[in-house]
Amino acid sequence: MTNDEIHACLDVFGKAWESQDAKALGACYALDCTVVSPIFNTLHGRVAVEQSYGDLAKAFALQKVRVDDVVIGNEDPPRAVVVWNVQSTHIGEVFGMPPSGKQIERTIAYFLTFKDGLITREVRLYDFTSMLMQLGVLRAKPR
């Protein structure tokens, strides 16, 4: 895949993210993909990934998604890193916690591997502890 082809895939992916369209997000992944996520652990297959995006949309209403950086590697298989800033509101149960209406913000890095225009492997990195603190699940330890 060329850099332009990867950028085109990422544009489709970003638009699906912004609209919280689980079906469109799932279509960006290979049928036999693997996704490693702090929330969902390791997911195998497009159906599981699509379900995870649906579950995420039920728990968090998206306010804003911004791409802060994209790095594309020219190796084989093609790879990219996307750094996102995501702002959302907690609207549904997550981690056994009922909806709080709290707004949270997180920076997420997605490490993506592509084949034939689809994501075959994805590793998501973000500060999960900060997310739990913003939700009120964890509290900062006083000094």
Q: What residue ranges do the domains of the chain occupy?
A: 3-134
pLDDT at residue 94 in the model: 86
- Which residues in the chain land under pLDDT 70? none
What pTM value is reported for the model?
Answer: 0.89
Q: Which fold, 3-134?
A: Nuclear Transport Factor 2; Chain: A, (3.10.450)
In this structure, the strands spanning 79-90 and 103-115 are: antiparallel
Residue 36: its H or E element? strand 29-37
What 3-state DSSP class applies to 118? Answer: strand
Q: Read off the pLDDT of residues 65-106 as tens digits, 9 standing for 90 and up.
A: 999 999 999 889 999 999 999 999 999 998 888 999 999 999
